[in-house]
């Protein structure tokens, strides 16, 4: 067999991970483990879905995926082949020509480049598919196919078989604004680079051989060559600065673009006049280099911005594309979501997404509102209660009367709230821009004064001196001071798994004085764990857990999943266990079934318990047979492995830590005690969290909010610095300044240290730029600075700023905490006391 | 120094050529995905699907 397969197999055997599914790395069930032959070896799989996916990947000859990937595969997508009705097709499919159609999909579950490789290969090998392009960063796939050979639903179902879910986006998404922006920026950057190099070469000739070797006409030639080389840089590459300046001036504001555009235009125009006059010095190379440096900075900023989520993606993910409408005669028709009207009756199947807000007509159902509320436990809804659009139906089916659609839904309301909070955010960068603009205004005044003064003294030198002032004082150092430091900081932070979405955030991060954490999914793992187990009548905990797991095996309920996971992680369990028979789930109460001839019930105490026995706490899950209770389980969330270290590190930096959660007081208090957090609030609605945040900010605190749910989105948008987890809801990511990739909370402390260092260096840069200008400008005004020295001074001052900015990563490394194990997925760490009670 | 009159236009022409080639590459999706093509050489077997895909691509 080939070596990579053998090594990875050995690695799997060596770690406790041998109880993991080969495909998705979920813990294996204790029985009913299915196996698939991959690369000649039997591999365990957690379910038939994973086996099908793995075998299919193998059959396509794509087994290499398992060696190339850096993150586990997503589990099989929920059952139900994707459907697409002709109505909807009109909106998502674009006809390229008579034969070929094109569509843009948002692919869920893309985690690393191996996923991209797998999707491109798997779909690309299907007959009729012409082109597949997957972008891991934006999670978008552009697919071109011949509609005579294959249809979009078929392509979507192929994608589902690989384990990814594809959502067709509106055809407008094909004219992707982000892609256009990226390509434009890349072209402009390259043109500026080429132009600057050429201009510099021609200028070097003038610098070093001007008097001795070249005659006047050759000098003239090189001046005009510089003009030619700088032309595309100024007129093509620098266009964003000019249009930005025009926009800012039209809005009567002074942005950084204004001084930059002014400097570019003035230096270029002055150099052109000099070239026309046939004497003096030209600065075409300076202006080209200036544009190139600035564009390089903006390019890096843009890449960081594109890597994070967008509001439109978030809404596309949450809102289903179609809904099932009940007609008056009882038949069901599938319609596009935009056709749904208030007053319609809609049917949602189990596992489906509620299409819009409405009132439940069925007796009861259970919905997972995690995407909306961030809290993981599914919620029981009874007839007459409201269902929120975007939530996932766990137990159903549900019939509901839609009463709010489109922009009136809760989901759209939250999105609007986010947008408003974003608009109200204080613009920190504006102050810096204003300072630079003021500086430019002063320099311009000084230039005019210099010209006027020299005209009186010696008119022949007036133009040269004025130009020297303009060049030597060119706001390069000012213009570059901020972008150079910020750009470097963004790159350094990205290496630590901290994606900075809005560059402003670095300054705010350095000034943070208080951190407000969300609980579920942020400080704790998004899933439940069995934390406490109490047995009755001499049953051992392991046996009780095995019985519970056998019953819970087939259920998708989070409590049932927690039972199965807890059993799979018990070290002493015996694999000899019969599967439970006659398993029936009663919605909202529990599961019953037969195991080895005993009639067992698992669920809420009032469901599992036969009347007349010892009462059990209501928040526990009880396992009982006909004779009486067998075991009582307490479920809790477990802290993220690095939550403690992260909180301690932030506290060590002098920050106040607070906790705000929508969860019950007891649960929040438990987490707060474990992490020594004094300030905490429970049962908080998004609006209440936001109010608390405003209150804290009014007291003068600079607040960093860390969260993951959509209910956190308004809070995130209203904070000074908003941090979202990579696994969090799209909407939360879209309203955040910083996204933690890899969900490593610990990176926060490093990020803050880097931000503080960045601000220090930024201030140094500013001071340097100011000092240099204060020295150079008066000298130039007095006529002591020859033009070549002015250009050299300007270039060197810019270089100093850039070199200083490059120090940012180096010192942060020394400031980092001692090395920790970074490789591999972080394992959830249950709270120690509870761990002890689980394995007595 | 007369050689400059040949070399300089030549360098400008080369520059134009390079810029044109780069613009073509950007417009033909060569820079859209900077990550996954790096993985392709790690494959043990060449897959036929990849070649078909290229042939079919316009």
- Separation in Å, CA of B21 to nearest CA in chain A: 11
**Per-residue pLDDT at A130 exceeds 70:** yes
Instruction: Give residue B24's pLDDT.
Output: 92
Band of residue A416 on the pLDDT scale cut at 50, 70, 90: low
The beta strands (E) that lie in A237-326 are given as 322-326
Pick from A234-238, A522-526, A777-781, B31-35: least confident: B31-35
Assign B18 to helix, strand or coil. Answer: helix
Active-site residue list of A: 518
As a whole number, the mean pLDDT across chain A is 73
Band of residue A833 on the pLDDT scale cut at 50, 70, 90: very low
Q: Are A126 and A218 part of one and the same domain? A: no
Instruction: Give residue A307's pLDDT.
Output: 57
Instruction: Tell me the average pLDDT across A681-688.
Output: 79
- Separation in Å, CA of B24 to nearest CA in chain A: 10
CATH code of the domain containing A733:
3.40.50.1000
Pick from A533-537, A581-585, A600-604, B41-45: least confident: B41-45
For residue A130, tell me if it sits in a domain. Answer: yes
For residue A633, tell me if it sits in a domain. Answer: no
Instruction: Give residue A233's pLDDT.
Output: 93
For residue A95, tell me if it sits in a domain. Answer: yes
Instruction: Give residue A234's pLDDT.
Output: 93
**Per-residue pLDDT at A653 exceeds 60:** yes
Q: Which of A35-39, A316-320, A488-492, B20-24 has the highest mean pLDDT?
A: B20-24
Q: How far apart are CA A228 and CA A411, in angstroms?
A: 55
Higher pLDDT, A426 or A794: A794
Q: How far apart are CA A379 and CA A368, in angstroms?
A: 6
- Separation in Å, CA of B6 to nearest CA in chain A: 13
Among chain B residues, the shortest Cα distance to A2 is held by: B44
**Per-residue pLDDT at A408 exceeds 80:** no
Interface mutation vs chain A, best among B30, B49, B54, B55, most A CBs within 10 Å: B49
Interface of B with A (CB under 8 A): 1, 4, 8, 11-12, 15, 18-19, 22-23, 26-27, 29, 31-33, 35-36, 38-40, 42-45, 47-50, 52-53, 56-58
Tens digits of residue pLDDT in A796-822: 777 788 788 888 877 544 444 443 333
Q: Are A650 and A519 part of one and the same domain? A: yes
For residue A58, tell me if it sits in a domain. Answer: yes
Q: Are A171 and A191 part of one and the same domain? A: no
Q: Are A243 and A263 part of one and the same domain? A: yes
For residue A769, tell me if it sits in a domain. Answer: no
Instruction: Give residue A840's pLDDT.
Output: 29
- Separation in Å, CA of B56 to nearest CA in chain A: 6
For residue A447, tell me if it sits in a domain. Answer: no
Q: Are A647 and A508 part of one and the same domain? A: yes
**Per-residue pLDDT at A187 exceeds 90:** yes
Query: A418, A713 in Cβ contact below 8 A?
Result: yes
**Per-residue pLDDT at B2 exceeds 60:** yes
Give the total number of structural domains in chain A.
Answer: 6
Instruction: Tell me the average pLDDT across A591-604.
Output: 77
CATH code of the domain containing A90:
3.30.70.100
pTM of the model: 0.56
Q: Which of A273-287, A403-417, A777-791 has the highest mean pLDDT?
A: A273-287
Q: How far apart are CA A792 and CA A219, in angstroms?
A: 19
Q: Are A543 and A618 part of one and the same domain? A: yes
Band of residue A138 on the pLDDT scale cut at 50, 70, 90: low
**Per-residue pLDDT at A80 exceeds 60:** no
Pick from A129-133, A202-206, A225-229, A523-527: least confident: A523-527
Tens digits of residue pLDDT in A444-487: 788 888 888 888 888 777 777 777 777 676 666 666 677 777 77
Tens digits of residue pLDDT in A320-372: 666 788 887 777 777 767 677 888 888 887 777 788 888 888 888 888 775 55
Region of residue A220 (phi > 0: left; psi between -120 and 50: alpha; otherwise: beta) = alpha
Query: A551, A595 in Cβ contact below 8 A?
Result: yes
Q: How far is CA A43 from the centre of its chain?
A: 33
Q: Which positions ≥6 away from A668 have C-beta within 8 Å?
A: A519, A659, A661, A680, A681, A682
Higher pLDDT, B50 or A657: A657
Pick from A14-28, A356-370, A563-577, A714-728: least confident: A14-28
Query: B36, A113 in Cβ contact below 8 A?
Result: yes
Q: How far apart are CA A551 and CA A539, in angstroms?
A: 17
Q: Are A54 and A184 part of one and the same domain? A: no
Q: Are A541 and A591 part of one and the same domain? A: yes
Tens digits of residue pLDDT in B3-17: 878 888 898 899 899
- Chain A CB contacts of B6 under 8 Å are none
Q: What are phi and psi of A473, to 5 degrees?
A: -100, 5
From A723, A757, A791, the end of a domain falls on A757
Band of residue B22 on the pLDDT scale cut at 50, 70, 90: very high
Q: Are A293 and A158 part of one and the same domain? A: no
**Per-residue pLDDT at A772 exceeds 90:** no
Q: What share of chain B is helix, strand, coil (3-state, %, to 5)?
A: 70, 0, 30
From A175, A209, A238, the end of a domain falls on A175
CATH code of the domain containing A581:
3.40.1110.10
Interface contact A183-B22, CB threshold 8 A: no
Instruction: Tell me the average pLDDT across A613-636.
Output: 71
Q: How far apart are CA A165 and CA A403, in angstroms?
A: 29
**Per-residue pLDDT at A554 exceeds 70:** no
Q: Which of A31-40, A407-416, A637-646 has the highest mean pLDDT?
A: A637-646
Instruction: Give residue A829's pLDDT.
Output: 37
**Per-residue pLDDT at A15 exceeds 80:** no
Cα→Cα distances A840→A371, A530, A565, A833, A836, Å? 37, 14, 18, 11, 6
Tens digits of residue pLDDT in A197-240: 999 888 888 777 656 666 777 788 888 888 999 999 999 999 98
Tens digits of residue pLDDT in A486-521: 777 877 887 777 777 777 788 888 888 899 888 777
**Per-residue pLDDT at A51 exceeds 80:** no
Band of residue A587 on the pLDDT scale cut at 50, 70, 90: low
For residue A823, tell me if it sits in a domain. Answer: no
The DSSP letter of residue A337 is G
From A143, A175, A207, the end of a domain falls on A175
Tens digits of residue pLDDT in A708-750: 766 677 777 778 888 887 666 555 666 677 877 666 788 888 8
Q: How far apart are CA A324 and CA A329, in angstroms?
A: 14
Q: Are A502 and A646 part of one and the same domain? A: yes
- Which of A616, A571, A484, A525 lies closest to A835 in space, CA to CA? A571
For residue A839, tell me if it sits in a domain. Answer: no
Instruction: Give residue A583's pLDDT.
Output: 72
Instruction: Give residue A148's pLDDT.
Output: 83
Interface contact A179-B32, CB threshold 8 A: yes
Interface contact A64-B44, CB threshold 8 A: yes
Pick from A423-427, A551-555, A827-831: least confident: A827-831
Q: Are A165 and A202 part of one and the same domain? A: no
Q: What was the ipTM of the complex prediction?
A: 0.77
Place of tokens 């969290």: A689
How many C-beta atoms lie closer than 10 Å to residue A125's C-beta?
19
Interface of A with B (CB under 8 A): 2, 4, 60-62, 64, 67-68, 113-114, 116-117, 120-121, 124-125, 130-136, 179, 182-183, 186-187, 190-191, 194, 198, 214, 218, 221, 225, 228
Higher pLDDT, A85 or A242: A242
Q: Which of A74-88, A255-269, A399-413, A750-764 has the highest mean pLDDT?
A: A750-764
Instruction: Give residue A235's pLDDT.
Output: 94
Range of the domain at A245: 180-303
* Cis peptide bond upstream of A64, omega within 30: no
Instruction: Give residue B3's pLDDT.
Output: 81
Q: Are A585 and A678 part of one and the same domain? A: no
- Chain A CB contacts of B20 under 8 Å are none
Higher pLDDT, B35 or A676: A676
DSSP calls for A143-170:
EEEETTT--HHHHHHHHHHHT-EEEEPP
Interface contact B22-A113, CB threshold 8 A: no
Among chain B residues, the shortest Cα distance to A125 is held by: B49
Interface contact A117-B40, CB threshold 8 A: yes
Instruction: Give residue A195's pLDDT.
Output: 92
Interface contact A116-B18, CB threshold 8 A: no
Interface contact B47-A133, CB threshold 8 A: no
The beta strands (E) that lie in A383-449 are given as 386-387, 392-395, 398-404
Query: A525, A667 in Cβ contact below 8 A?
Result: no
Instruction: Give residue A436's pLDDT.
Output: 64
How many CB pairs lie under 8 A apart between chains A and B? 82
């Amino acid at each position: 067999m080939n070596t990579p397969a053998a090594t990875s197999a050995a690695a799997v055997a060596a770690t406790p991970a041998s109880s993991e599914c080969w495909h998705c790395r979920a813990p294996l069930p204790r029985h009913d483990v299915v196996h698939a032959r991959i690369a000649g070896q039997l591999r365990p799989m957690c379910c038939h879905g994973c086996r099908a996916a793995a075998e299919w990947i193998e059959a396509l000859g794509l087994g290499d995926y398992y060696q190339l990937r850096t993150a586990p595969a997503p589990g099989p997508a929920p059952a139900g082949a994707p459907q697409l009705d002709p109505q909807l097709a009109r909106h998502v499919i674009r006809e390229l020509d008579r034969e070929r159609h094109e569509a843009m999909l948002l692919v869920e579950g893309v985690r690393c480049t191996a996923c991209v490789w797998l999707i491109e290969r798997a779909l690309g090998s299907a007959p009729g598919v012409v082109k597949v392009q997957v972008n891991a960063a934006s999670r978008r796939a552009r697919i071109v196919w011949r509609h005579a050979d294959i249809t979009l639903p078929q392509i979507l179902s192929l994608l589902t078989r690989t384990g990814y879910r594809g959502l067709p986006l509106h055809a407008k998404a094909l004219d992707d604004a982000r892609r256009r922006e990226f390509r434009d920026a890349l072209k402009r950057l390259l043109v500026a680079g080429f132009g600057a190099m050429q201009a510099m070469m021609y200028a070097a000739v003038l610098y070093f051989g001007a008097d001795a070797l070249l005659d006047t006409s050759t000098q003239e030639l090189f001046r005009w060559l510089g003009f030619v080389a700088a032309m595309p840089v100024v007129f093509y590459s620098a266009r964003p600065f000019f249009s930005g300046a025009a926009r800012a001036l039209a809005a009567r504001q002074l942005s950084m673009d204004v001084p930059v555009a002014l400097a570019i235009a003035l230096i270029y125009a002055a150099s052109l006049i000099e070239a026309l006059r046939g004497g003096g010095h030209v600065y075409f190379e300076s202006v080209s280099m200036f544009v190139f440096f600035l564009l390089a900075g903006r390019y890096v900023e843009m890449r960081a911005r594109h890597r994070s989520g967008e509001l439109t993606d978030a809404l596309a993910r949450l809102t289903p594309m179609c809904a099932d409408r009940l007609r008056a005669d009882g038949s069901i028709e599938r319609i596009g979501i935009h056709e749904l009207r208030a007053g319609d009756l809609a049917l949602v199947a189990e596992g489906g997404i509620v299409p819009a807000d409405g009132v439940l007509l069925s007796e009861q159902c259970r919905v997972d509102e995690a995407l909306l509320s961030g809290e993981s436990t599914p919620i029981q809804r009874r007839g007459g209660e409201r269902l929120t659009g975007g939530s996932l139906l766990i137990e159903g089916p549900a019939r509901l009367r839609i009463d709010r659609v489109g922009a009136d839904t809760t989901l759209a309301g939250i999105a609007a709230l986010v947008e408003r909070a974003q608009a109200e955010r204080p613009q920190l960068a504006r102050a810096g821009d204003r300072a630079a603009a003021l500086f430019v205004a002063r320099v311009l005044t000084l230039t005019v004064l210099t010209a006027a003064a020299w005209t009186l003294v010696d008119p022949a030198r007036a133009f040269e001196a004025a130009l020297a002032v303009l060049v030597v004082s060119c706001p390069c150092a000012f213009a570059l001071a901020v972008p150079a430091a910020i750009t470097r900081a963004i790159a350094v932070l990205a290496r630590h798994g901290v994606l900075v979405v809005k560059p402003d955030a670095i300054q705010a991060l350095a000034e943070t004085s208080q951190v407000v954490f969300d609980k579920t999914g942020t400080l704790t793992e998004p899933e439940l764990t069995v934390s406490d187990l109490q047995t009755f009548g001499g049953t051992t905990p392991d046996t009780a857990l095995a019985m519970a797991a056998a019953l819970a095996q087939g259920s998708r309920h989070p409590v049932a999943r927690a039972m199965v996971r807890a059993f799979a992680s018990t070290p002493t369990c015996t694999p000899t266990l019969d599967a439970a028979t006659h398993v029936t789930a009663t919605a909202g109460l529990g599961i019953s079934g037969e195991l080895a001839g005993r009639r067992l019930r698992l669920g809420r105490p009032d469901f599992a318990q036969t009347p007349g026995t010892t009462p059990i706490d209501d928040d526990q899950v009880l396992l009982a047979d006909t004779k009486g209770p067998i075991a009582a389980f307490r479920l809790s969330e477990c802290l993220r492995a690095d939550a403690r270290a992260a909180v301690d590190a932030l506290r060590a930096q002098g920050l106040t830590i607070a906790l705000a959660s929508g969860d019950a007081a007891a649960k929040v208090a438990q987490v707060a005690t474990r992490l020594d957090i004094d300030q905490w609030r429970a049962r908080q609605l998004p609006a209440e969290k936001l109010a608390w945040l405003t209150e804290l900010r009014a007291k003068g605190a600079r607040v960093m909010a860390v969260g993951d749910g959509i209910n956190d989105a308004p809070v995130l948008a209203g904070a000074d610095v908003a941090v979202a987890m990579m696994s969090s809801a799209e909407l939360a990511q879209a309203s955040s300044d910083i996204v933690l990739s890899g969900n490593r909370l610990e990176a926060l402390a490093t990020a803050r240290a880097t931000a503080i260092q960045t601000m220090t260096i930024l201030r140094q840069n500013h001071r340097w730029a100011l000092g240099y200008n204060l020295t150079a400008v008066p000298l130039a005004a007095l006529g002591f600075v020859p033009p070549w020295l002015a250009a050299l001074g300007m270039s060197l001052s810019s270089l100093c700023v850039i070199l200083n900015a490059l120090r940012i990563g180096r010192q942060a490394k020394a400031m980092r905490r001692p090395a920790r194990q970074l490789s591999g997925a972080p394992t959830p760490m249950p709270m120690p006391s509870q761990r002890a009670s689980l394995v007595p | 120094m007369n050689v400059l009159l040949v070399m300089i236009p030549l360098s400008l022409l080369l520059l134009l050529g390079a810029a044109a080639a780069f613009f073509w590459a950007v417009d033909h999706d060569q820079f859209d995905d900077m990550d996954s093509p790096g993985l392709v050489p790690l494959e043990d077997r060449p897959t036929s699907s990849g070649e078909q895909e290229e042939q079919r691509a316009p």
